[in-house]
Structure 1
């Protein structure tokens, strides 16, 4: 006896969902297998995204080199990775102190990283410094500090591991950047400038090293949500509706675990460019190219509304 016609569509949906789930699980499993024995460097490994990446790649059997500014936090991460790990399936991570704000130390850091295993298969540049302030109130010293951490640091480290990658004709460099490396919004001038610079550098580098079989990837994401923001209880003036909506979408972040999984998938698929954002930021990117006056007007209206709200408080 055949199935009633009303049952066919729900059954097809269930089957399709099951196939999609199995496909994702297989891809995720293969991603972990592909990083086995690979030498993977993670900068700012003690951050939310860095920690999630460390756990994913460690479980996959990668030879990790974890970089961070705090030795105590690095040791704590080391303990969490090795406490439940199978020594037969995983490798004990190497720890390296790395502070991009101290550019004078970068030569020694690069040498220490290369001494760990003699080569680097995957470099994940994850470090970032954020700042929200009007451009006129940001000092030149702060501008330089942000450029060191977000631009000069990752570029210097990438250049340091590049010769060995080129000689081996194998390697993958990943820049975990920001959507603001492509689209600048008000009150983040220094941050957006550093992210634009990093985006441009790694875009150029991608073309320059392709002939050697190297892969350069950039992942542009919205803000990272480490926790849910507390609801506001204070009333405020109603802003421009369109500007407020775009701003809320631009600042709607991703969780560290989602971003870490995307990084793992990028290593697996060798994707050159990833935009991890909701539809509105993606539309704003197109507006920046196709209708810049409209986007500028919307952002300017949002600034006026925010200034008005501050004056009324």
Structure 2
């Protein structure tokens, strides 16, 4: 009985040891996450969005010198209050606030100057802004096309060009593009949106190669849509005619939580990863199918469009 006692305790001891190792690992990673961004000047665009707020909270707790950008001053002030009310001023810095509206491209030069006036340079730029649209191609006006391109492409690219010279002179910096997976994989009724996301993806990939010699890291984080609300259960009376197309579409539009995406952005900055895809298996597989079997993917997506049109006509 005495000899059997140690063997009985083996499993509990292993569990306790494993739990202890995991706890130590998480604490070390948490400490490293804070220390790696501590005192860094971090600019976040659209900081008042769900994702922007989550990023602001993470970087603020990590001791970063935040420059929070957004188009609504009242919301920026509310975010400022939320970050500073319970913060320890010995460990954190009060954020700087800058009005930034990518729909007003004439103001971009002043915005760049105001951002650089805060600290004189930028260590990390998180480009988070985005404008979405779902509509058939023929119903999208040229004016709306231009607005989407301003918000999703010309705005971020112009901001990057303005903030890049100090990074080059200091030979350091990290630029993060938070982009939709539709910058790599287009789906129907998102023509203007997908086009703008493809454009900005290409810009950042070119930029990555051009600035590598200066020690500047350029990262792209491609995700499915950001789901800030709890998923609702919807019962359909009849299954869609094309089950495969419907399943792929549901997976492509399966959102990620802002907190999960914000953590991924923080890890991308800490580990200097250049390319991240945050998506479920089906969108990941679709990316490979797009390259290896494009005709198959085109046929499936087109069939899904025909089925959706038929369903609407029958209602």
TM-score bracket, shorter-length normalisation: over 0.9
Deviations 1:71-116 (A, max 9, x none): 0000000000010011111111000000001101000000000001
| Contact 2:70/2:98 (8 A) holds in 1 | yes
**Other-structure match for 2:309:** 307
1:308, distance to aligned residue in structure 2 (A): 1.2
1:7, distance to aligned residue in structure 2 (A): 8.4
Decide whether aligned partners of structure 1 residues 287 and 29 sit closer, same or farther in structure 2, where only a CA change above 3 A counts.
same
Q: Quote the Cα distance in structure 1 between the aligned partners of 2:203 and 2:78.
A: 33
1:117, distance to aligned residue in structure 2 (A): 0.4
Within the candidate set 179, 185, 188, 1:186 is matched to 188
**Other-structure match for 1:207:** 209
**Other-structure match for 1:61:** 63
Within the candidate set 240, 243, 251, 1:241 is matched to 243
Within 5 Å, give how 1:289-304 maps onto structure 2.
Answer: 289-304=291-306
TM-score, L = length of structure 2: 0.94
2:39 is equivalent to residue 37 of structure 1:
yes
**Other-structure match for 1:271:** 273
Q: Quote the Cα distance in structure 2 between the aligned partners of 1:201 and 1:25.
A: 37
**Other-structure match for 1:163:** 165
What value does the CA root-mean-square deviation take over the aligned residues? 1.9
Deviations 1:182-241 (A, max 9, x none): 000111111111001011000010010000000000000111110123333563552311
| Runs of 4+ more than 4 Å apart | 2-18
1:135, distance to aligned residue in structure 2 (A): 1.1
Q: Quote the Cα distance in structure 2 between the aligned partners of 1:168 and 1:275.
A: 29
- Give the aligned length: 313
| Contact 2:181/2:223 (8 A) holds in 1 | yes
Unpaired segments of 5 or more residues in structure 1?
none
Q: Quote the Cα distance in structure 1 between the aligned partners of 2:20 and 2:282.
A: 30
Q: Quote the Cα distance in structure 1 between the aligned partners of 2:300 and 2:30.
A: 40
Q: Quote the Cα distance in structure 1 between the aligned partners of 2:77 and 2:286.
A: 42
| Contact 1:237/1:309 (8 A) holds in 2 | no
Decide whether aligned partners of structure 1 residues 3 and 43 sit closer, same or farther in structure 2, where only a CA change above 3 A counts.
farther
| 3-state DSSP of counterpart to 2:230 | coil
**Other-structure match for 2:129:** 127
| 3-state DSSP of counterpart to 2:177 | strand
TM-score, L = length of structure 1: 0.95
